[in-house]
Amino acid sequence: MTLLSTSQRSGDPEREALQAARHRRWKRLAVLALGWLAMLAVWEYASWWFGSRLMPRPYAVLMAAYQIVADGSFFTDFTASVLKTFAGFAVAIVIGAPIGYLMGRHAFWRAFFQDGITVAGTIPAIVYAVMSLIIFGLSNLGPTLAVALVSIPYIALNVAEGIRGVDRSLIEMSEAFGRSPRQIRQEVLIPTLVPYVFVAIRMCFAVAWKVEALTEVFGGRSGVGFQIRTEYQLFDISAVLAWTLLFIAFMLVIERLVLAKSEAHLLAWRPQERNAL
């Protein structure tokens, strides 16, 4: 009897911790749901205030979004936008990562690239969109180039910071144990750089999506931005808001379920990421 009571008492802290974690999870979900309900209430009031012609009701927009998904337009145009965005990211990584590596490793290259990368990061996104359209016209290369130009400074600067943040004692210890430069890059530099690269990707992800859609609005022939421009020309505000709503929902899915989860799994060796799994 004494042993049973002792085991029950020893199990109480763990059970209480699980209950506390469950309580925090439900509390976060409740706050999230409350935020969405508040937004819908404000939207409904704005529709009543301005009139449904200028500000369609949430129900009408949801029905328009359902129709877009049901007729297959969603998958066709979102696939086009996703491919162009990811292609731009790939170009940005191929160009930005080596620049950041050189900036982090050598003072000469840091001085050589610093001002150019800083200026490139401060140029408004709309300038990149217009430049891309001027160079490539109405083609898929325009949005891809715009995404790449926006993303390169973020990636280069974060990679450079990651290189400079490497613990020199780890490199010296690796050299003392006879590790080759290739092994040092693979076992010390790259693991240190991965968090910085993910920070860069998550920082410029939303900006790149907006630039890609903006470029399509100006001169695209497919994708979400092209559909928004088409519905605007038809003055179908419900469809414009429906495409925008689907655009936001897709971005949240990519951010929460792809980027955040991938970062947590790849960086599971860090205590803060391990706790997030």
Mean pLDDT across the chain, nearest whole number? 77
Answer whether residue 5 shows pLDDT above 60. no
Q: With a threshold of 0.85, does the pTM exceed it?
A: no
Q: 217-232 pLDDT, tens per residue?
A: 877 777 788 888 888 8
Sign of CA dihedral 139, 143, 146, 148: negative
Tokens read off for 52: 């449904």
Q: 41-88 pLDDT, tens per residue?
A: 887 787 788 777 777 888 888 888 888 888 877 788 888 888 888 888
Percent of the chain scored above 70 by pLDDT?
87
Stretch (H or E) spanning 19: helix 2-50
Q: 89-133 pLDDT, tens per residue?
A: 888 888 988 898 888 888 888 889 888 888 888 888 788 888 887
Nearest CA-CA partner of 61 in 74, 37, 43, 86: 43
Query: Distance (Å, rounded) from C-alpha 185 to C-alpha 191?
Result: 9
Q: 242-251 pLDDT, tens per residue?
A: 888 888 888 7
Query: Distance (Å, rounded) from C-alpha 31 to C-alpha 203?
Result: 25
More confident residue, 273 or 15: 15
Gyration radius of the chain over CA positions? 24
